[in-house]
Amino acid sequence: MGFRCGIVGLPNVGKSTLFNALTETQAAQAANYPFCTIEPNVGQVGVPDPRLDELAEIAGSAKIIPTQLSFVDIAGLVRGASKGEGLGNQFLGNIREVDAIVHVLRCFENDDIQHVDERVDPIADAETVETELLLSDLESLEKRVPAAQKKAAQGDKESKIIASVLGQALELLRDGKPARLTQPKDDDEARVFTQAQLLTAKPVLYVCNVEEEAASEGNAFSARVFEKAKAEGATAVIVSAAIEADLVGMDTEERMVFLEEMGLHETGLARIIRAGYELLGLLTFFTVGPKEARAWTVHKGAKAPEAAGEIHSDMQRGFIRAETIAYDDYVALNGEAGAKEAGKLRQEGKEYLVHDGDVMHFKFNV
């Protein structure tokens, strides 16, 4: 499954540079002027996970297939986007299609790179984007909620649910708060809330794009962003898009040497993925054999049949049981045979909740 993250921000904050570096492509034109990214560029990257390499080595797998993560580089936003200014309508439409928003904020000084507002203020930049998303949601719900309330008064059951959950979201928006603070009280309300596709319901990860010298500890700009994220219960990471761009084309050994010289222990991609997984409540399970070792992604709380469905819908439909080994047991006992002999291979049924790192083999009949 992986997840689909939309990279957003004001023009010239480093969105396209970061996208190019993360996906190791030049699909996005990184240029020093607004709207250089006209169509959203989508890049697929494998999620780095050292556990997968270790499992493959133990099993002698011929192929290693990581789970995939999609990055969507979305055109820069300006004030008035909710009213169609700049590329506003396209920007807002593209955000509706992603699972999470990676909000890139300029946290560096550089006189050679113009800022659309001629100043460097990541908090103001964040508020500009948030305001446009909020105004778009507000306009949508101010039309939908009264209509739902009218039908609800006539006894329509679905309209009562819509009026309840979206009415709560509307009150939050009117107070200047994002819709993601809405708390659906049951599964029906959760379904309606999800179907509404509100922009401010998307989880947000703030990416502080700093100069190379600040990539390890951050700077005064990024410190303010972390304070904002903490106050919102959100997540923030520090990344230098310039360093990530330098890493493109290097082999693994070269990368490690380069990162150590910069005082770093991992790439920005790894930090963003880890933060993104936490943000969306995702976990990884594995399938391992002589042909391939493969990583898969499901949401926390997923049951065994849902995990089987990530591989093929027939496996979920005809699910019988899941032969499951915890990652630590698989490694400590040197593979499936050792785990089985030690009684660590478990037979799990339809109600089993998948754990991060589970090595699974599904039995099914269609």
Percent of the chain with pLDDT over 70: 88
In a domain, 55, yes or no: no
Same domain, 100 and 208: yes
User: Using CA atoms, how far apart are residues 309 and 234, in angstroms rounded to an integer?
Assistant: 30
Same domain, 27 and 170: no
How large is the average pLDDT for residues 108-120? 69
pLDDT for res 113: 63
pLDDT for res 116: 58
Same domain, 105 and 225: yes
pLDDT for res 23: 73
Same domain, 144 and 191: yes
pLDDT for res 192: 93
- The count of other CB atoms within 10 Å of the CB of residue 35 is 13
pLDDT, tens digit (0-9, with 9 covering 90-100), for 4-13: 888 888 877 8
| Residue 199: Cβ-neighbour burial (10 angstroms; 0-12, 13-18, 19+) | buried
Identify the domain boundary among 250, 280, 310: 280
Pairing status of strand 359-364 against strand 319-325: antiparallel
> Per the structure block, which two tokens stand in for 59?
């099993």
In a domain, 185, yes or no: yes
pLDDT higher than 50, residue 325: yes
Q: Quote the domain boundaries for residue 351.
A: 301-364
Same domain, 170 and 208: no
How large is the average pLDDT for residues 264-289? 87
Q: pLDDT grade, residue 79 (50/70/90)?
A: low
In a domain, 190, yes or no: yes
Q: Bigger pLDDT: 47 or 324?
A: 324
pLDDT higher than 70, residue 103: yes
pLDDT for res 18: 84
In a domain, 9, yes or no: yes
Same domain, 115 and 16: yes
pLDDT higher than 60, residue 109: yes
Question: Helix H segments across 175-240?
Answer: 187-195, 220-232
**H helix count then E strand count, the chain:** 14, 12
Q: pLDDT grade, residue 37 (50/70/90)?
A: very low
Same domain, 114 and 140: no
In a domain, 125, yes or no: no
pLDDT for res 77: 59
Give the CATH number of the domain where residue 42 resides: 3.40.50.300
> Per the structure block, which two tokens stand in for 47?
């999620």
How large is the average pLDDT for residues 268-276? 82
Residues 236/175, Cβ–Cβ less than 8 Å = no
pLDDT, tens digit (0-9, with 9 covering 90-100), for 161-181: 999 999 999 999 999 888 988
pLDDT for res 31: 44
pLDDT higher than 80, residue 233: no
pLDDT for res 174: 94
Phi, psi of 47 (to 5 degrees): -80, 115
Residue 101's alpha-carbon distances to 5, 16, 199, 310, in angstroms, are: 6, 15, 9, 23
pLDDT higher than 80, residue 1: no
* Nearest by Cα to 178 from 139, 133, 238, 234: 133
pLDDT higher than 60, residue 89: no
Q: Which residues pair with 321 in a beta bridge?
A: 363
How large is the average pLDDT for residues 30-52? 64
pLDDT for res 40: 55
Give the list of residues 6+ apart from residue 151 with CB closer than 8 angstroms, or none. 159, 163
Same domain, 210 and 196: no
In a domain, 320, yes or no: yes
Give the CATH number of the domain where residue 324 resides: 3.10.20.30
pLDDT for res 339: 97
pLDDT for res 30: 45
How many structural domains compose the chain? 3
Same domain, 105 and 10: yes
Same domain, 216 and 156: no
Tell me the pTM.
Answer: 0.79
pLDDT higher than 80, residue 93: no
Lowest mean pLDDT among 6-20, 61-75, 103-117: 103-117
Strands in the chain per DSSP E: 4-8, 41-46, 63-65, 68-73, 100-106, 204-209, 235-239, 282-288, 292-299, 319-325, 346-348, 359-364
Residue 262's alpha-carbon distances to 216, 258, 272, 274, in angstroms, are: 7, 6, 18, 20
Identify the domain boundary among 224, 248, 280: 280
pLDDT, tens digit (0-9, with 9 covering 90-100), for 337-363: 999 999 999 999 999 999 999 999 999
pLDDT higher than 60, residue 27: no
In a domain, 10, yes or no: yes
How large is the average pLDDT for residues 12-20? 82
Identify the domain boundary among 185, 200, 215: 200
Same domain, 212 and 305: no
In a domain, 292, yes or no: no
Residues 202/178, Cβ–Cβ less than 8 Å = no
How large is the average pLDDT for residues 76-88? 52
Q: Bigger pLDDT: 218 or 84?
A: 218
Same domain, 260 and 237: yes
